[in-house]
Amino acid sequence: RRGNALIYLLGTKLKNQLKSFLKSPGKLLYLVIIVLLIGFVVFSGNISTEAGQAFRPMSELTAMVFALFVAMFFLLANGGFNHGGNFFNMVDVNLIFPAPLKPQHVLFYGLCQQMGTSLVVGIFLIFQYSWLHQLYGIGMGEIIIILIGYGLTVFLGQTVALVLYSATSGSDQKRRIARTVYYLLLALIAAFVAFHALTSHDMLAGAVAACNA
């Protein structure tokens, strides 16, 4: 029942946000403009593609997506050495924290809330549809998959930040060791990609192959 209370709270928040859009002319106009812009991007991307057009290798796109996800993950997880994950606002602190709820349920609630925010922020990816469709021939379905992957990446980055903060906040030595391992891992990834790029006859192809590996 207590878990159901958090599900009810999430649903109520979502419903109230939708109602606020309908009741506020400014917010409703903003939403309409966003939808129209997305429609324009999709329409312009489709009409500019010629039949039989040769597209760029899909491996380039997957490499770019990988680079975006890795950058977002490490940037967010890095916050774990300073302040941890940012899952809750003051309303949550005042309403949920004093309630007789399991800490795991409260954390899961915060993570779900954060993932929803991440998907909203990641809407900028949809506006990349036009040039991605022209160069790589992908459709809106693939863009949605990338958007979901972006949301999961942010979700996991925030989760790792919370774990790092919980594990290292009480000890400067633990924080230094974790930070060293963290940056070493990032340096290994960069060195792996750079090595393949520099030792390949085609640097771009080498970097793409390394990312996809």
pLDDT in tens, the chain (213 residues): 555 666 767 677 778 777 777 777 777 787 788 788 878 777 776 776 665 567 888 999 999 999 999 998 988 888 777 765 556 666 666 666 667 777 767 777 777 777 676 667 777 788 888 888 888 888 888 888 998 888 888 888 888 888 888 888 778 888 888 889 989 999 999 999 999 999 988 888 899 999 888
pLDDT score recorded for residue 62: 92
What are the φ and ψ backbone dihedral angles of 131, each rounded to 5 degrees? -75, -30
Nearest to 152 by CA among 125, 180, 183: 125
The pLDDT, as a whole number, for residue 93 is 65
Tell me what pLDDT residue 84 has. 57
pLDDT for residue 92: 66
DSSP label of 127:
G
Contacts of 123 (CB under 8 A, 6+ apart): 34, 147
Angle between helices 140-168 and 172-198 (to 10 degrees): 140
What pLDDT is stored for residue 194 in this prediction? Answer: 92
User: Integer distance in angstroms from the first to the last C-alpha of the chain?
Assistant: 46
Read off the tokens for 113: 């809330």
> In this structure, what are the phi and psi dihedrals at residue 87, rounded to the nearest 5 degrees?
-105, -25
Q: Could you tell me which of 81, 84, 87, 76 has the C-alpha nearest to residue 157?
A: 76
> Which pLDDT score, from 0 to 100, does residue 91 have?
66
Buried/exposed 46-67: b ≥16 CB within 10 Å, e otherwise: eeeeeeeeeeeeeebbebbbbe
Where do we find the tokens 């800490």?
103
pLDDT at 188: 93
Dist CA 141 CA 148 (whole Å): 11
